[in-house]
Structure 1
Amino acid sequence: MNNEEKMFELMTQMYAEMQKGFKNVYAEMDKRFNNIRGEMQEGFRNVYAEMQEGFRHVYAEMQEGFKQVNERIGKVENELKEVKNTVLKIEHDHGEKLKALFDGYKQNAEQLTRIEEEVKKHDEFILRRIK
């Protein structure tokens, strides 16, 4: 076997060993990448579960807040109805009182007119007697 053949055989052997080494490195890298991928996916699942729990908690708090706001609005609406009814009653009562006052004023004015007419009659009578 000559030197060239030996060299060729040596190079072929080195090539085969290198290919085997690359396959081993590739397999090891693939294994590690799969482990990392699995760990990342597990981490994402945990984060997602925590976020979901947080969202549920926030949602429950918001619902409780809305419930409290709705109750307060209901109370305000009831109080507003009571105030409205009170105002309507006051307006009605004052309307009746004003009507009575105007009727009294009208009666006083009519009475004064009658008295003035009587006084005029008496003035005329007195003035005729004096003459």
Structure 2
Amino acid sequence: LSTASYFESLASLENRIFKQRVAARFGAGRRVSSFFAGAYAAVKLCAEAVTEANRDDPASVRGFLHANPRQTVLGPLAIDPRTNHAALPFHLGRINEQSGFDVIASHGAIVADPYLVGTLASQPVPHLRVVQ
């Protein structure tokens, strides 16, 4: 089992188009990882923001991304104005005979908490102690 925000086997129009573009550029045998898909989505988001905002300064690009969620190969992405992180989907995959993954469970985008301030992990745990 593995978890990721992207697996090649995702059944979406965006993923089908993405894999066709990858195959045209790198050949039909090219495998696509969640890292590849994430980098692709990030660059595409940035390029679209610069084009549509008609500006390339960081504040304008960030402002555009904060206000305009986009459909990507990872699914719909929104950038949180508080953290500048994307809410990402969760997928659970089981390895298959083609050395890929079949998605067996999914959950919609999960809001990022990069500084662990919105979870119980940020709360003190009184029953833990430092052992020397």
| Structure with the larger helix share | 1
Give the structure, 1 or 2, with the largest relative contact order (CA under 8 Å, sep 6 or more): 2
| Alignment TM-score, normalising by the size of structure 1 | 0.18
| Structure with the larger strand share | 2
| Alignment TM-score, normalising by the size of structure 2 | 0.18
Bigger Cα Rg: 1
